[in-house]
Structures are given as C-alpha cells and as structure tokens.
Amino acid sequence: MARVILLTGFQPFGGERTNPSWEVASWLDGKEIGGATVHAVELPVNCRRAAKLITEAIAQTKPAAVLGLGQAGGRPAISIERIAVNLAEDSAKRESDGGVNAKPVVPSGPDAYFSRLPIAPMLKAIARAGIPAAMSLSAGVYVCNTVMYAALHALRQRPAVPAGFIHLPYTAAQASQHRGAPSMSIDLMTAGIESALTVLARSK
C-alpha cells in the first residue's frame, strides 16, 4: 500500500480572497515526495468542523504522516509550531487573538500536545533552500491550533506517526491590504513546504 502524507490547508477567511495554506497544499496534492504520496484536504475556518474533518481524514487515509498548514498574517517566515493547547475559540478570528472564552478542543483531553515533526531537520532543509523559517511556541487558540491538537489527539494510539503544523506568511497581494505586513510568494512557500515534506517522508 502506498504511503500517504496527509496535508491540510484552509479556506479563505476574514475577508481574504485566498488562503496561502490551501494554495500551497493544493499545488502539492498528488505529488510523490520521498516515496510517499501527498493527499491534500481543504478545511473550513471553524474550530468544531475542522476538528471533525481532520479526525475523519486521518481515520480514512491512515497516513504515514500528517502536516497541517495555516495562515499567520504578520509573520515574516514559515513557522513550525511546537505546541498545540486544548483551547479553541472561533471568535478569535486570527491566531494571535482570543483565549478568554475558549473551550476545550477535546473535553477531558490533555492540556497540550507537542509536535511530532522533526522540527530541527525541517528548519535546516527550508533554510538550505534560502527560505526564511523559524520555530513558534504558540499556535494561538483559533482554528490552526485546533487542527493541530485534534490531529495529534486522533493519533494518540499511533505514537510513531509524525504530525504537526506549519504557519505561512501572507502573500504579497494580501500584505498590500494589511499596511505592508511581511509576505512571501506562493512559489517560495511551496518550495519551503516541499523541503519540509521531503524531510518528513524520510523520517519514517
């Protein structure tokens, strides 16, 4: 049976016409990387629905690895998340907001999960491609954090499966609507994620 890497991205939100996470994921859908096939799934920007869909996708595809992608406007680099917390707040609207009225992603679930991604090798691979990359200690409490937490929770009985989440900057078109916020081209983001996926595919 062919090995599958489950790759997720999100629909546009907050008045945006596009979301770089899905643009990148859709470009890589079906691509063979390191002996594994990328299977991309587009998720809604809604904590409850996104958690349900990522859990179902994991059950259906039984992936060898899982990588979620999301948009984090204002960040200048591809950001690999280290921790997902058991908090979700749909009213946050962006990753840096919210928390006061957050509810658990999974009632009675652990307070947090650590990423299972090979973060250091992934950062090195992205940097070798000449693309800015960094590790982040907070995925916020909005839908990106929810998806990371839900994926790791769904894989709690499969500890050998690498899984985690990466945030992407705005595209140039988006940044122009946000007072010159940092941006990155889709081509660079795609190349960076492909480098990360190559490391991920070979980590098994």
- What is the per-residue pLDDT for 92? 58
d(CA 87, CA 104): 5
Nearest to 136 by CA among 190, 76, 185, 48: 76
Q: What is the pTM of this model?
A: 0.94
**Residue in 16, 81, 95, 194 annotated catalytic:** 81
47 is catalytic: no
144 is catalytic: yes
**Residue in 47, 95, 144, 153 annotated catalytic:** 144
Instruction: Supply the range of the domain harboring residue 52.
Output: 3-202
**Averaged pLDDT score across all residues of the chain:** 93
How many domains would you assign to the chain?
A: 1
Burial class of residue 50 in the structure, from the number of CB atoms within 10 Å of its CB (0-12 exposed, 13-18 middle, 19+ buried): buried
**Residue in 23, 47, 167, 194 annotated catalytic:** 167
pLDDT at 1 over 60: no
153 is catalytic: no
Beta-carbon neighbour count of residue 64 at 10 Å?
22
User: What mean pLDDT comes out for the span 33-44?
Assistant: 97
Q: Encode pLDDT of 60-114 as tens digits.
A: 999 999 999 999 988 999 999 999 999 998 875 555 555 677 899 999 999 999 9
* Helices marked H in the chain: 20-28, 47-61, 119-128, 143-154, 172-175, 186-202
- What is the per-residue pLDDT for 43? 98
Report the CATH number at residue 159.
3.40.630.20
User: What is the band of 17 on the pLDDT scale with cuts at 50, 70, 90?
Assistant: confident
d(CA 52, CA 30): 23
3-state secondary structure of 159: coil
pLDDT at 5 over 90: yes
CB 158 within 8 A of CB 61: no
CB 161 within 8 A of CB 148: no
